[in-house]
Amino acid sequence: MLTKIVLSLLLVVGSPVFSIPLNTHTTAVNLAAKFKVAGVTNIVAGDRARAQALHQAATSGEHYANASITNVAPIGYTIQVGIGNPLKHYGLLVDTASGNTWIGADQDYTVTSTSTGTGNTVSVSYGSGNFSGKEYLDTVTLNSLSISDQSVGVASEYQGFRGVDGVLGIGPVSLTKGTVSNTDTVPTIMDNLFSQNSIQSEVLGVYFVPVSQEDSTGTLTFGGWNSSLMTSDITYTPITTASPASNYWGIDQSITYGDSTILSSSAGIIDTATVLILIATDAFDTYKTATGATLDETTGMLRITADQYSSLKPLIFTIGGTAFTLTPNAQIWPRSMNSIIGDTSGNSDNIYLIVADIGSKTFSFVSGYTFLERFYSIFDTTNKRVGFATTAYTESASN
């Protein structure tokens, strides 16, 4: 059965919803992109803090470890999720680097006839935010699609989540280890969709339209993918064996700028809740030098001139033997959205790059939504692999 859900993802400008044809063997969720302004403008610092916390959590096995809050990224994809009976809808951040689903930030949880308190406590840190509270089992509804007895954290304390009600965790179940008292791991949304026979394969397809588009939208496809949104075959690569990236949706890749390799094949993660593309410091320094960019102190991002932009070379990610290329336009932040990253000059012609330094003691790379909006991505728990394909927006010049 094909189930459609309209989700909202908040943009600083309006975002109408449109229908997308879907494969009949999948259960799909249509999103309308919406981005939130969280009051903190340094995206680089927020993304870096998140990467370091995720690395620390995977290394120590303590996903509930406390972390100081430095910055919160002002942008995130949220999904409208119904919980309880009668339904109450919550806007949850879509997060492939977390397994826990929780609510109670901007909007309080309402106990209904389907709510069951377990007596357990739950706590998770994200580096750029954290929460702690109590665990409930409740019915989670995505339009006509219903999940019973889903573990839902209800926050009594939280930091770093202004503009959203909580998190929808669609990462590996191992990420829930140690987050709930008296429990080893708790089934994720994807686990329960599969075990309750709502989907035939534990596979999630993710499609984002670049945020610079007037009709910025996206689609989550549960149980498969939407081939009509792809312009190439799918390239699959196995989850990396390199720890700690192997705890997440981690893959091996190399990165080339023009003809020069800036990052040899190494392990990192794919993350919908990270904004930028973070790479190892030595690779970042090489990229910075090659592009001629300078570090902008206000935004924390690399900035280039119009002449340097005209000379930008392709940035090539080799994954599973296939080259996925970010064109020069795909390497820059949407100029019409410069105010979101803290550019107070009012000059929409300023050009910032979306590649940033990941910092020390973390992964070799984290590819955030600015990478994912140029490619269709598939997160395949059943076969322990990640897939990518090009889309109509891979070579878009909208930035």
Angstrom distance (rounded) from CA 247 to CA 55: 9
Q: CA–CA distance from 150 to each of 60, 83, 171, 184, 190 (Å)?
A: 26, 10, 15, 16, 10
252 part of the active site: no
Angstrom distance (rounded) from CA 289 to CA 376: 30
Here the tokens at position 145 are 């699609």
CB atoms within 10 A of CB 14: 11
> Do the beta carbons of residue 371 and residue 326 sit within 8 Å?
yes
Of 33, 24, 26, 25, residue with least CA distance to 6: 33
CA dihedral 46, 51, 52, 53 (to 10 degrees): 90
Exactly one of 47, 95, 138, 191 is catalytic; name it: 95
3-state secondary structure of 219: strand
H-helix or E-strand spanning residue 315 = strand 315-319
CB atoms within 10 A of CB 125: 25
106 part of the active site: no
Of 46, 4, 52, residue with least CA distance to 24: 4
Angstrom distance (rounded) from CA 219 to CA 230: 12
- Residue 39, sorted as left (phi over 0), alpha (psi -120 to 50) or beta, turns out to be left
Exactly one of 47, 252, 271, 343 is catalytic; name it: 271
Angstrom distance (rounded) from CA 310 to CA 45: 28
Angstrom distance (rounded) from CA 223 to CA 193: 9
Catalytically active residues, by annotation: 95, 271
